[in-house]
Amino acid sequence: MLVPEQLGKVDHSSLRVNQAVIILALLAAFIFDLPWLAAAVALIMLVGTGIGRPGFFFVYTGLLRPTGIVKQHVLADNPEPHRFAQGFGGVVAAVSSALLFLGASAASWALVWLVIVLAALNLFVGFCAGCAVYYWLNRMQVPGFLKEPPTETFPGMRPRS
């Protein structure tokens, strides 16, 4: 059954800080050749998905928001697609980490870069590819993908109101 127009509240500042930390950490992992760092990012993303929060929410709630560096930006939005997107990214990062430990360097770093590119697309352009996949699965009426995109918003684009 589809559930239209039951939007929750999503703090997009929290999501954007999460994306920024993921990008920086994975870039550092690539530049300094630190597979363990990529694995740690994957783990944090997956744990965050499990508890229903952005993996690096603690950077936002513990440091950036209290000091006023980043302000809240709460929008009417569905949290589920963002969780799905983070979970998908976490799985890709976990697979790349596993491949790194198995010695498949080029393929695994390519997957890490895929996560970096998609996180950057979300952070700088406002397009969440994982959310777009979620909404596409919703259109296909796949069980479990219940939420429709917010009104007047292209599926996956950051809502503006």
Partner 1 sequence: MLLEGTLARLIFAAVLIAAMAGTYRAGTSLVLARARRKGHGLSQFTPGTPGVVFFTTPDCVTCKAAQKPALLALADRLSGRVQVIEVDARDNAVLAKEWSVLSVPTTFVLDRDGRPRQVNHGYASTEKLFGQLAALGQI
Q: Is 89 in the site for partner 1 (CB under 8 A)?
A: no
Q: Near partner 1 by CB under 8 A, which window of 36-44, 54-62, 112-120, 140-148?
A: 112-120
Identify which of 61, 67, 83 has the alpha carbon closest to the alpha carbon of residue 17.
Answer: 61
- The stretch among 48-56, 89-97, 116-124, 132-140 that binds partner 1 (CB under 8 A) is 116-124
113 binds partner 1 (CB under 8 A): yes
CA–CA distance from 70 to each of 3, 122, 123, 147 (Å)?
33, 17, 14, 28
Which H/E stretch holds residue 10? strand 8-11
By CB under 8 A, residue 105 contacts partner 1: no
Is 5 a residue that touches partner 1 (CB under 8 A)? Answer: no
Nearest to 55 by CA among 98, 85, 35, 99: 85
Identified binder of partner 1 from the candidate list 125, 136, 141, 142, rule CB under 8 A: 125
**Span 11-50, contacts to partner 1 by CB under 8 A:** 27, 30-33
Helices (H), the chain: 12-31, 35-51, 57-59, 79-102, 105-120, 129-139
Chain contacts with partner 1 (rule: CB under 8 A): 27, 30-33, 76, 113, 117, 120, 124-126, 151-154, 157-161
